[in-house]
Amino acid sequence: GAVVSQHPSRVICKSGTSVKIECRSLDFQATTMFWYRQFPKQSLMLMATSNEGSKATYEQGVEKDKFLINHASLTLSTLTVTSAHPEDSSFYICSADPGGFSYNSPLHFGNGTRLTVT
Amino acid sequence: DAKTTQPPSMDCAEGRAANLPCNHSTISGNEYVYWYRQIHSQGPQYIIHGLKNNETNEMASLIITEDRKSSTLILPHATLRDTAVYYCIVRVDNYGQNFVFGPGTRLSVLP
């Protein structure tokens, strides 16, 4: 089945530093990937849609200059949290769309990255 | 995307069938019903999806009512490892469409 790999699984950083999270589709190509954020005991909230070769589309209230997204290839999207603050501590999850008008094309999710900003 | 409603929590005895309901009364004709689950501190795991016919795979069965306004996910023999939050999502099966997650149902499988 389709596998999405997310790295790192956990990261602790100091306030003011930047952190990069990678999302890779291992056995399929994904023109579109999605980035979600999840706070404790809450559901996933879409942050942005990442499109290969073009600028990401951010949801309302998500700062594009703070959460930099790069989707340079069909198998890799990165999310960089710049100048991280403690309130950015959260669980970040990516997903990738195997694509096509196919009956069997559910989104596949990475295992998430737990970010703690101290 | 259509909104879904699910009970916030459910319990199920280990070895028994777990039946998780979902209402999607405003679903449109080209929207599929997807089920995912999320075990603590992991990413969502795809379970099953369907349009209007009942579906079954190695994990679960999906029963969709004839009017498509509701569905039920059935885990035929629940185990402790099935304890998770289960999300019912409706989405047009077009490329590039994200999933909108509601609060889901927290299923607790009890020994």
Per-residue pLDDT tens for A30-59? 888 999 999 998 999 999 998 888 889 999
**Best residue in A33, A59, A105, A114 for a mutation probing chain B (most B CBs within 10 Å):** A105
Q: How far apart are CA B85 and CA B5, in angstroms?
A: 14
A36 beta partners: A46, A93
Amino acid at B93: D
At residue A101, the pLDDT reads: 42
DSSP secondary structure, A51-92, as one string: ETTS--EEPTT--TTTEEEEEEETTEEEEEE-S--GGG-EEE
Indicate if the pLDDT at residue B95 is higher than 90: no
Indicate if the pLDDT at residue A87 is higher than 90: yes
Is A25 near chain B, with CB under 8 Å?
A: no
What percent of chain B lies above the pLDDT cut of 90?
79
At residue A103, the pLDDT reads: 46
What is the 3-state composition of chain A as percent helix, strand, coil, each rounded to the nearest 5?
5, 50, 50
Of B34, B42, B96, which has the smallest distance from its Cβ to A32's Cβ?
B96
**Best residue in B35, B95, B105 for a mutation probing chain A (most A CBs within 10 Å):** B95
Average pLDDT over residues A89-117: 83
What percent of chain B lies above the pLDDT cut of 70?
95
Would you state the structure tokens that stand for residue B58, as one six-digit string? 């190695």
Is B50 near chain A, with CB under 8 Å?
A: no
A97 CB neighbours in chain B (<8 A) are 95-97
Average pLDDT over residues B17-42: 93
